[in-house]
Amino acid sequence: MASVKLARMGILRFLLPVPALLLLAPLAAAEPKVLLELFTSQGCYSCPPAEDLLAERYLGRDDVLALELHVDYWDDLVYWGSSWEDPWSSPAYSRRQRAYAFRSGVFTPQMVVQGASSASGTSRRRIDAAIADAQAVPVAATVSMRPRAGGGWTAEARGGLDAAGPVEALRVVYLKETETAIAGGENKGKILRNHNVVTVLERAGALAGVLSLELPPPPPGHGCAVILQRAGQGPVLGAWTCPPAAAGD
């Protein structure tokens, strides 16, 4: 009798349309990544080498999520009679950089690793050491993702109940690759290639046990992720990227 029931279930599954099958798909646990935040600007002469290092050394790694956050305080600086307004810059990213308030101060290019340490964006040795330190810390949360029938994902975060303090979930969308011809400022005349440029960074909710998030599919050429971070812009617990199907790949 049990075999007949299982056979019927198999037939039903075969007859279900793809969207219905997606709704039945279990939540898939995603692996946490160490978050790298490169605070940079197209108007900064010393920033392209840091952006190149990000692309060449960290972009293809499975254990880190390397992002570029373009600050806006370079936009009005005049160099040899001209300035350059970075099309990807935002005052929100400048505020985020200042909120970290490391003893090293605010500068570009600045790499912040897991919200806990800072290094020059060109200092491969210090960045690698900070990544190793972050990976030695147990991750006090998990994020699982399930595809939605209409596109995108449902993410379920668990954790945030330990004594270290409250946890916030952030939703991030980033442009995977872009090229810009620079017509002014310190990089005038150059063509700059940028990777994983943040276009959306927003608070999605507070995590205190279980938090469910709806992640819409990002535009073509973009990726998305969930970041869990201690409230008050403290240390990052981890970053979880949307699987390729959610990014339109």
Residue 227 pLDDT exceeds 90: yes
Confidence (pLDDT) at 165 = 83
Give residue 18's pLDDT band: very low, low, confident or very high (50, 70, 90).
very low
The model's confidence at residue 102, banded by pLDDT at 50, 70 and 90, is confident
Instruction: Note whether 71 and 109 are within 8 A (CB).
Output: no
What's the mean pLDDT when you consider all of the chain?
A: 88
Note the pLDDT of residue 7.
41
Over residues 81-86, mean pLDDT? 95
Neighbour tally for 203: CB within 10 Å: 11
Question: Which residue, chain included where needed, has tokens 């985020």?
Answer: 96
All residues at 6 or more sequence positions from 9 whose CB lies less than 8 Å from its CB, including other chains = none
Do β-strands 153-159 and 110-113 pair in parallel, antiparallel, or remain unpaired?
A: unpaired
Q: Does residue 168 register a pLDDT over 50? A: yes
Question: Averaged over 32-51, what is the pLDDT?
Answer: 98
Q: What is the pLDDT of residue 28?
A: 57
Distance from C-alpha of 193 to C-alpha of 222, rounded to nearest angstrom: 15
Model confidence at 164, pLDDT cuts 50, 70, 90, reads confident
Name the band, by pLDDT with cuts 50, 70 and 90, for residue 30.
confident
pLDDT category of residue 104 using cuts at 50, 70 and 90: confident
Q: According to the model, what pLDDT value does residue 80 have?
A: 86
Whether the pLDDT of residue 155 is over 90: the answer is: yes
**Cα gap 128→113, rounded to integer Å:** 9
Domain residue ranges of the chain, discontinuous segments joined by +: 26-247
What burial class does residue 60 get, using C-beta atoms within 10 Å of its C-beta: 0-12 exposed, 13-18 middle, 19+ buried?
exposed
pLDDT at 17 over 60: no
pTM (predicted TM-score):
0.87
CA separation for the pair 118, 217 (Å, rounded)? 32
pLDDT band of residue 245 (cuts 50, 70, 90) is low
Residue 20 above 80 pLDDT? Answer: no
Please tell me which residue, 71 or 163, carries the higher pLDDT value.
71
Which range has the worst mean pLDDT, 17-26, 31-40, 172-181, 231-240?
17-26
97-106, 158-167, 177-186 — which is least confidently predicted?
158-167
Query: Is residue 115 within 8 Å of 35, Cβ to Cβ?
Result: yes
* 171-217: pLDDT as tens digits: 999 999 999 999 999 999 999 999 999 999 999 999 989 999 999 99
